[in-house]
A and B are shown apart, each in its own frame.
Chain A
Amino acid sequence: MAIEKILKDDASEEKGERARMASFVGAIAITDLVKTTLGPKGMDKILQSTGRGNEVTVTNDGATILKSLHIDNPAAKVLIDISKVQDDEVGDGTTSVVVLAGELLREAEKLVAAKIHPMTIISGYRMAAECARNALLQRVVDNKENAEKFKSDLMKIAMTTLSSKILSQDKEHFAQLAVDAVMRLKGSTNLEAIQIIKKPGGSLKDSFLDEGFILDKKIGLGQPKRIENAKILVANTAMDTDKVKIYGARVRVDSMSKVAEIEGAEKEKMREKVKKILGHGINCFVNRQLIYNFPEELFADAGILAIEHADFDGIERLALVTGGEIASTFDNPESVKLGHCKLIEEIMIGEDKLIHFSGVEMGQACTIVLRGASHHVLDEAERSLHDALCVLSQTVNDTRVLLGGGWPEMVMAKEVDELARKTPGKKSHAIEAFSHALVAIPTIIADNAGLDSADLVAKLRAEHHKEGCNAGIDVISGSVGDMAELGISEAFKVKQAVLLSATEAAEMILRVDEIITCAPRKREDRM
């Protein structure tokens, strides 16, 4: 009797070996895709969107690449997901996590082919991951106590992160920018307070950090262009016409004269509102919503700087830096906290006019102005800077630091190898495979830099056999070098997240022995 069809048409089912193969192939394909972007000499990818305009993105950020891919393979989706999480959680290491997970699966494939049960591989991987984490924990450096040293640590981390990005030419400059910006946050991880403004033109070197706050807006016509000792009211209120919010209200008139009267009343109302706002004794008014011509004129008459249509983030940040509160009603001026700053002036960056608030009360926020030749460069610069900022702000919270350049992988691999030798049973093969996967990362870094990876990694392994060695791959000179001297550091939190999520993802994919794909929902063809 033929087996009845259980699933719907178009739905497919893959079992056992085939299912496992499908996930291995998918995962490894994704890994190979992003592999070449790893390391300081990694290459970039061009991504063209299918949307209107076929926009082009040039990037070497793993998460960005993977986010833009349309993937059908379920195992590949798992990898994309971990890279996304890595981005959200620590901000950097998005490529490494995918590469490590892919290498783990590549090793697992060999073991499965050698008839080792996936569950045995998983338990081996778990032991290995635990052991690797402990190995890292033993070697971390924590300079929390020593502010001077800690700052240099941060600087090194920023440089290491940036060195694999487009900003690597000016990495010192940008590392300084990022460290300064993060230090201003004083331990908070709220990157919202750091504003990044991109202005095409000039070169990347012209980018700068501004201690004040820059709002990408123009000053209203006929209003002062420069105010000293500004008192700022930050508001979120309608400055066109106040809508009547009582439900069902509408205006019905029976003659033209009435229309005029109502219009007059409306104008009067607005005038009163402006008067109330003026009653706060301010000389600068920033509103989130539109300011119509009429009130704008009133403000100009009173010699007040009125800025309209600031975006929500801008308003929040402005309120944060100037210490004012966001107001929506203006009836009791005495209790509204106003924002203060020393100087407001219009400045020019490139050809654009911007409003610059300097001498603000709270020094937390700051603005980084990026300059660069094209939008693509600027976009990529922003992503790189964002990565660096994320890593730095996480490092400020978790001050443990490791060396970079493949050093942590070699340390882990050594410990894991030793564990493999001690463990009886089939698990030891899995543990050994884990160490192979770890070594794959320095290998890829070397390969990407056009170096002889086999030779270098072998040398590195030999170096690491000595106690307390700091050897890693020095991509610039193409040899094994002392990472501590070269000043290449990475944050412990990032490495740990890479290790754990990669193992978790590999485990998850290994556990699968059947893939059931539902019939895809029918869509209208867009083209």
Chain B
Amino acid sequence: MALAFDEYGRPFIILKEQEQKTRLSGLEAQKANISAGRAVSRILRTSLGPKGMDKMLQSPDGNVTITNDGATILEQMDVDNQIAKLMVELSRSQDYEIGDGTTGVVVMAGALLEQAERLLERGIHPIRIAEGYEMASRIAVEHLECIAQKFDFGPTNIEPLVQTCMTTLSSKIVNRCKRALAEISVKAVLSVADLERKDVNLDLIKVEGKVGGKLEDTELIYGITVDKDMSHPQMPKQIEDAKIAILTCPFEPPKPKTKHKVDIDTVEKFQTLRQQEQKYFDDMVQKCKEVGATLVICQWGFDDEANHLLMHQNLPAVRWVGGVEVELIAIATGGRIVPRFQELTPEKLGRAGLVRERSFGTTKDKMLYIEHCANSRAVTIFIRGGNKMMIEETKRSIHDALCVARNLIRNNFIVYGGGAAEISCSIAVEAAADKYPGVEQYAIRAFADALDAVPMALAENSGLQPIETLSAVKSQQIKENNPHFGIDCNDVGTNDMCEQNVFETLIGKQQQILLATQVVKMILKIDDVISPSDY
């Protein structure tokens, strides 16, 4: 315990209420941290790859999630340990940055920690290990660039993109119809992509789901869906060539922000007020009609009276549309969001070829489709599936696929999947290790071993002999000097990933290695853990 005494023998208090805190320091702390980190990665290990298993998570409220997306599992796991939280963060940042490979990054970090533990036992200083890892990761990332291949695609040639998305989707439960979903994702991304600037705004792609039907019924809608129906049951259900007024003001008399009171003390005032009120409603509806709108989309509600007046004027309206949807509708239809009735002009109306209401199943669920918009850049992926969990999982899978497609548009370099890239890096790092004098050499070699963990886990999950398979592939790569060989997870018969069309994005892989190294470095540098132990 950290105790110090002054010349009279009284203890200095360094940590407040020391007895109530647990403290781990030195090698002990590092080992505890490493084992926590490894425990997390062990949970995810079995989810890796096309034959990976799912995890069932029950939330505090009893809702069930079934997924094999690393980021989702960790986020919902209710993790308490500090180091484990770091791993959760790690997977989350991979999710934000790249969107895919969230499981791989954690498995990688776990393997690095495992190797580090062995080195620590041999008495190598953690900082030296961290430095060695850093060098090794640089070598690996550079090597990835060497083996990466540029591949071409264009708006007409989407096949390569589809293949890459299929690799991502094959590890999910939706792999039954991965081809269809991959095509949907690629088409969605391409239709919103800015190929000149090489950028994709994924906000323009909305992923909606509705329980029921089959997974195969999932469709791509060139337009927007809104989970609302017409405000009046008797309004028309289908509008062609709609001109849409997008309003963020309610169909109600104005509510000035300043506090005021209108006092009524005479009968005349009472009557004028009433007329005033009616005029408000009339004016509002008239205004919309005058500018030529054929559909009103409102972020707020309307009064019954306004509703009827709209109906009366044959002006269909949708109320209580959410803020995000309003923005999307505005983008898609090329309209402007109008905050006040006075500012409504014909130019500010959005245009859509077809607006229709569709109902599903036996319950009266209705959705509004806005299609053939003026600006076809906003699209919606509409997912159907047997149950709620299926839909949620499909949403996550589609998100991953979208991210992959986006990454490829940003940077069209790919590496081969199925562990091929990792094996190749491992060989390169191993070879480079001998050139470094000093203790770091051991760390670099350990890094090379850690890189093998991903293909090893892949082989294990696919029911293959992990060590046998890995060493066979490795020797094949060295013999033929060809970085395309990986683990044949699907039992196709060849382990040439080029033939199997298993690709991953270069930036995704690089990011995985960099992020994993960074977190491991951080964990290694901790040598003191102080936590309150009040429970």
Interface residues of A (CB under 8 A from B): 1, 3-9, 11, 13, 19, 23, 72, 74-75, 77-78, 81-82, 85, 87-91, 117-119, 126, 189-192, 236-237, 242, 244-254, 258, 261-262, 264-266, 269, 316, 319-320, 325-329, 331-332, 335-336, 390, 393-394, 500-501, 504-505, 507-508, 511-521
In the complex, what's the smallest C-beta–C-beta distance from B26 to chain A, in angstroms?
13
Q: Is there contact, CB below 8 Å, between A500 and B386?
A: yes
Q: Is there contact, CB below 8 Å, between B267 and A262?
A: yes
Q: Whose C-beta in chain B lies nearest to the C-beta of A325?
A: B234
What are the 3 closest A-B residue pairs judged by CB atoms, nearest first?
A328-B308, A513-B53, A501-B386
In the complex, what's the smallest C-beta–C-beta distance from A484 to chain B, in angstroms?
28
Q: Is there contact, CB below 8 Å, between B362 and A247?
A: no
- Given contact pairs A244-B273, A247-B256, A265-B270, A516 touches B55 in the complex (Cβ within 8 A): yes
B307 at the interface (CB under 8 A from A): yes
Complex Cα–Cα for A189 and B360 (A): 9
A-B contact pairs, 5 of them (CB 8 A): A81-B389, A82-B387, A251-B263, A258-B265, A518-B78
B residues 188-231 near A (Cβ < 8 Å) are 211-215
Complex Cα–Cα for A368 and B253 (A): 43
B residues 65-83 near A (Cβ < 8 Å) are 66, 68, 73, 76-81, 83
Q: Whose C-beta in chain A lies nearest to the C-beta of B59?
A: A518
Complex Cα–Cα for A328 and B389 (A): 43
Besides A6-B40, A512-B53, 6 new A-B residue pairs in contact (Cβ under 8 A), listed by A number: A88-B212, A245-B277, A247-B255, A265-B267, A513-B53, A513-B54
- Given contact pairs A1-B31, A520-B60, A520-B62, A504 touches B46 in the complex (Cβ within 8 A): no
Q: Is there contact, CB below 8 Å, between B309 and A245?
A: no
Choice from B211, B215, B262, B312 contacting A88 with Cβ under 8 Å: B211
B522 at the interface (CB under 8 A from A): no
- Given contact pairs A236-B308, A515-B55, A520-B60, A3 touches B265 in the complex (Cβ within 8 A): no
B260 at the interface (CB under 8 A from A): yes
In the complex, what's the smallest C-beta–C-beta distance from B434 to chain A, in angstroms?
32
B123 at the interface (CB under 8 A from A): no
Chain B's interface size range is 35 or more
- Given contact pairs A81-B389, A85-B212, A126-B176, A4 touches B56 in the complex (Cβ within 8 A): no
Complex Cα–Cα for A117 and B462 (A): 9
Q: Is there contact, CB below 8 Å, between A504 and B385?
A: yes
Q: Is there contact, CB below 8 Å, between B79 and A7?
A: yes
Q: Which of B43, B254, B276 has the most CB of A within 10 A?
A: B43
> How many contacting A-B pairs (Cβ < 8 A)?
244
Interface of chain A, helix or strand or loop or mixed? Answer: mixed
Contacts of A190 in B (CB 8 A): 359, 364
Q: Is there contact, CB below 8 Å, between A8 and B386?
A: no
Q: Whose C-beta in chain B lies nearest to the C-beta of A120?
A: B463
Q: Whose C-beta in chain B lies nearest to the C-beta of A324?
A: B234
Contacts of B308 in A (CB 8 A): 236, 326-329
Choice from B51, B76, B273, B362 contacting A189 with Cβ under 8 Å: B362
Q: Is there contact, CB below 8 Å, between B389 and A258?
A: no
Contacts of A249 in B (CB 8 A): 261-262, 264, 273
Q: Is there contact, CB below 8 Å, between A6 and B80?
A: yes
Contacts of B438 in A (CB 8 A): none
Choice from A90, A117, A507 contacting B173 with Cβ under 8 Å: A507
Q: Is there contact, CB below 8 Å, between A508 and B39?
A: no
Q: Is there contact, CB below 8 Å, between B387 and A319?
A: no
Contacts of B84 in A (CB 8 A): 4, 6
Contacts of B58 in A (CB 8 A): 74, 515-518
Contacts of B469 in A (CB 8 A): none
Contacts of A246 in B (CB 8 A): 253, 262, 273, 276-277, 280
Choice from B39, B385, B390 contacting A3 with Cβ under 8 Å: B39
B475 at the interface (CB under 8 A from A): no
Q: Is there contact, CB below 8 Å, between A7 and B56?
A: no
Contacts of A3 in B (CB 8 A): 35, 39
B471 at the interface (CB under 8 A from A): no
Contacts of B280 in A (CB 8 A): 246
B residues 358-376 near A (Cβ < 8 Å) are 359-365
Q: Is there contact, CB below 8 Å, between A1 and B32?
A: yes
